[in-house]
Structure 1
């Protein structure tokens, strides 16, 4: 688990951030950044570099490895610190509060601002880097891909999709993003996987989710990873979140991903509400109706 560094930001000097930024720049070219390159990358003297390395190592913001040379790499804590500093300088957030959710591919915290917001750090590649790279189309064609690049591109893709979809699709309102982090509106409701729906509500809620996918498709996007874990259910409707794997509808696999989204939801509802939802409904036909905008209700596709 990645440590929350928000409480340590006041201890860091501007020169510490110069070093972190220098390591970040060097990681664009190699996994481990040579120590002798850091004065140029960080715009600090060799003596200052030595002092800042010790401070950042003590705080676990960077890590060191001896190869044929002495190399350094940001940790996720160091990357978090860089993003937090940028958000603070922009006036996006005033402070970081309690965790809202800590997961395999992202950590979410409540943040203080002019209203309650949520801060999401992308962690793609942190635990299963190779598998993530195989799955994400934005890393497929690069020779050197670091976890840092993967996480940043995931955040960029999610923010791009949310900006395109909000407010027509019920997604969290995007506020700001930097590096691998996104600030968005905090949203209510209960994760679908934990929601206790009455059986007679099941078809209606599934219809609501599919209709959000209709609007998303009409605006040019397929979620590509919808499940019971990234839909929130509230009294006033549903919210579809976690969009880092979203693809434009002209992507070569967009229809396949849409059918998978449809099947994931149908499988979940069919398993949990077997007397209300026909899990053998034609997923390809439902996906086609979502794509052409004719979808009205899942009941129309029951055998």
Structure 2
């Protein structure tokens, strides 16, 4: 598995990373998937304190503990469960971040987090205070680097201007090309990497696309179901392996360090890795895929 540098950091992450939210709560099943990921050369694992009330961090931490020195462990902070755990509120305060990191470290069974990410963010936040919290955690050695998970261009610009983030996790795919308008060029200019989530668009850009489409009534973003019924066969006409097209489309842009793909089975994980390990897209291949899809743009949070 090829690795790419994460922004200006010395973290080298696998081109395919495992999004751990999809692991579920069955410990044995999760362990099998994580072990398979490591065997396939994946070294980057992404979780969050929000997932399964922290249980996801516990499962991931236990599974990766024997391999800790060989992997890049990423988690997120900012969404705070209420006392009865039936909802959460947004809390990017310095006090909460510095308290929450200790809980994550305990659940992950580690002394440090490689990449600590703000799990959202609004332009109304006290961004300076949030940045101060992350910078202090770096100095204390509790985290190696930090980033944000956001699809809001106005928030991303503030962090680019004020902080030393090394990455932005954002939704990006052939069906969601919004980052291409301004965000990808901006991050590329400042040597801040993108970690692309949702690269297969809820399974619509996989080799099970027709199965997913059959149960899809709402479409996807600005694509109606009718649009997708016409588009997916056209994309398959360019590349019969939709997994290959979808994952490599994201990786074609030099600012993208890794595509985060969830997996509910070792077989699904192998399919994603095999797709990326095939030949990368040629310029012509890339342009053909682009010509079939919409260059959609962010309408909010500009």
TM-score (norm 1): 0.24
Larger radius of gyration: 1
More relative contact order, 1 or 2 (CA 8 Å, 6+ apart):
2
TM value normalised by structure 2: 0.24
